[in-house]
């Protein structure tokens, strides 16, 4: 069932982003404040990962308000002193050397193969690609429900190639005055072009590349999308670009057309075998008794993301917490049992985060046939879900 409070929170957050991009600081602060209130309210209705995600979103809104206050203060001081605001653009990039590879990622074999063809094989078999008239390097956009491994698999791709991963800090890119977002995008791509080889990862690219028809009438928002498209067209072959989004239906059509980011790749939630593996790994790492059955748990958790199962605040952690609490109270070790897991799942401690995402995706497809044409894998998944 949809949460109207969460829907309103997301709408307020979106309006805050648009106002910030347009340079309307007062409006942005108002919308972020309203979004924070609604995210906190929505968080009170749920438990587990969904609760934590909404709390974090509320805190992000509060941080954005504080950042806007500081920027406004700097701007006022600059005006008084007759100076120009100078932004520290180095913060828009985070460069890391990933220590994970595809073998460390549970499942997602089809996604891995698509990444190998687009990115890994061109580097490893460059001469063959030249022979067949194919370019070195690649671009790809991944989409799907949150918590299903898009960020992890981007890191694994860089690790597979032993390349540095450049995380484009989308929040930092967007939190600017009029004209600053475009300058930050240009700066980020200029720095990337100075590197011979690397993987550039743009998570939540929807914050930058929302459809120019769907954003507000602000010419600033439109210029941001246009700047992104221009910069992407001028990347050298040695730079691999991976973009990711949880809301592909709001992306500008120019971003997802053939040739710009390749064919969109759907990153699905874990299937039964993958869920079973996640529970088995959870069992191996914790004191459990013989009643715990990973296969039964996998059957019970269709519609749950990998994060719902294995991350902080997930099913495994909640079950372990229950046993730990009894151990402390009783003064003797109690192993985690099947009843702990069942209580967490059936008691709603962790709700399946994929289900509301699929409901929203289905609504978008039903209202706009262009979505199903642009993302056929999504339509197939929705059609076959639960069968």
CATH code of the domain covering residue 220? 3.40.50.300
Mark whether 121 and 218 lie in a shared domain. Answer: yes
Mark whether 245 and 308 lie in a shared domain. Answer: no
Mark whether 29 and 56 lie in a shared domain. Answer: yes
- Please tell me the total count of domains within the chain: 4
Question: Which strand (E) or helix (H) includes residue 130?
Answer: helix 126-131
Sheet holding 265-266, edge to edge: 93-96, 165-168, 198-202, 239-245, 139-143, 265-266
Which residues are registered as beta bridge partners of 165?
A: 96, 199
Our measurement of the distance from residue 279's CA atom to the centroid of its chain's CA atoms, rounded to an integer in Å, reads: 23
Domain boundary among 26, 57, 81: 81
CATH code at position 31: 1.20.58.80
Mark whether 173 and 212 lie in a shared domain. Answer: yes
Q: Report the SS3 class of residue 344.
A: helix
Domain boundary among 81, 115, 137: 81
How are beta strands 165-168 and 265-266 bridged, if at all? unpaired
This model's pTM is above 0.75 = no
Separation CA 4–CA 280 (nearest Å):
36
Separation CA 340–CA 338 (nearest Å):
5
Mark whether 286 and 372 lie in a shared domain. Answer: no
State residue 72's pLDDT score. 62
Mark whether 159 and 289 lie in a shared domain. Answer: no
pLDDT of 79 strictly over 60: no
Separation CA 173–CA 184 (nearest Å):
6
Mark whether 99 and 228 lie in a shared domain. Answer: yes
Of the CA atoms within 13 Å of residue 226, those in its CB half-sphere come to: 9
How are beta strands 165-168 and 93-96 bridged, if at all? antiparallel
Share of the chain above pLDDT 90, in %: 23
Separation CA 315–CA 387 (nearest Å):
24
State residue 320's pLDDT score. 93
pLDDT of 149 strictly over 80: yes
Mark whether 72 and 122 lie in a shared domain. Answer: no
Mark whether 175 and 209 lie in a shared domain. Answer: yes
Mark whether 243 and 119 lie in a shared domain. Answer: yes
- Concatenated DSSP letters of 184-208: HHHHHHHHHHTSSSEEEEETTTHHH
DSSP character for 103? Answer: G
State residue 186's pLDDT score. 82
Mark whether 123 and 199 lie in a shared domain. Answer: yes
Mark whether 258 and 278 lie in a shared domain. Answer: no
Residue scoring higher pLDDT (103 or 374):
103
pLDDT of 81 strictly over 50: no
Separation CA 216–CA 247 (nearest Å):
17
Phi-psi bin for 93: left (phi > 0), alpha (psi -120 to 50), beta? beta
Domain boundary among 211, 246, 266: 266
Separation CA 377–CA 379 (nearest Å):
5
Please state which of the ranges 41-45, 198-202, 355-359, 368-372 shows the lowest mean pLDDT. Answer: 368-372
Highest mean predicted confidence (pLDDT) among 72-86, 189-203, 332-346, 363-377: 332-346
CATH code at position 299: 1.10.8.60
State residue 195's pLDDT score. 84
State residue 80's pLDDT score. 41
Full domain range(s) for residue 194 = 89-266
pLDDT of 84 strictly over 50: no
């Amino acid at each position: 069932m949809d949460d109207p409070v969460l829907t309103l929170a997301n709408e307020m957050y979106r309006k805050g982003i648009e106002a910030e991009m347009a340079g309307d600081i007062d409006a942005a602060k108002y919308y972020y404040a309203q979004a924070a209130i609604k995210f906190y309210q929505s968080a009170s209705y749920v438990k587990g990962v969904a609760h934590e995600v909404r709390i974090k979103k509320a805190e992000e809104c509060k941080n954005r308000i504080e950042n806007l206050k500081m920027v406004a203060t700097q701007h006022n001081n600059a005006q008084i002193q007759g100076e120009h605001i100078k932004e520290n653009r180095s913060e828009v990039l985070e460069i890391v050397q990933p220590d994970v590879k595809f073998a460390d990622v549970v499942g997602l074999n089809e996604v891995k193969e698509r990444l190998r063809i687009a990115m890994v094989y061109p580097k490893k078999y460059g001469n063959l690609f030249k022979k067949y008239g194919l370019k070195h390097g690649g671009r790809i956009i991944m989409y799907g429900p949150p918590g299903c491994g898009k960020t992890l698999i981007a890191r694994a791709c860089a690790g597979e190639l032993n390349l540095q991963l450049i995380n484009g800090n989308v929040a930092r890119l967007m939190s600017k005055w009029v004209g600053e977002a475009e300058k930050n995008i240009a700066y980020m791509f200029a720095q990337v072009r100075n590197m011979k080889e690397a993987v550039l990862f743009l998570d939540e690219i929807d914050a930058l590349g929302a459809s120019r028809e769907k954003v507000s009438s602000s010419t600033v928002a439109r210029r941001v999308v246009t700047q992104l498209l221009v910069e992407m067209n001028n990347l050298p072959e040695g730079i691999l670009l991976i973009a990711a989004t949880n809301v592909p239906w709001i992306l500008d059509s120019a971003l997802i057309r053939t040739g710009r980011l390749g064919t969109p790749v759907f990153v699905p939630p874990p299937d039964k075998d993958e869920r079973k593996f996640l529970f088995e790994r959870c069992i191996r790492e914790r004191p459990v008794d013989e009643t715990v059955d990973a296969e039964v748990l996998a059957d019970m958790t269709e519609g749950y993301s990998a994060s719902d199962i294995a991350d902080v605040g997930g099913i495994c952690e909640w079950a372990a917490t229950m046993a730990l609490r009894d151990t402390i109270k009783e003064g003797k070790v109690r192993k985690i049992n099947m009843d702990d897991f069942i209580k967490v799942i059936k008691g709603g401690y962790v709700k399946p985060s994929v289900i509301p995402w699929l409901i929203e995706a289905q609504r978008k497809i039903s209202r706009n046939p262009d979505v199903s044409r642009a993302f056929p894998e999504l339509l197939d998944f929705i059609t076959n879900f639960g069968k």
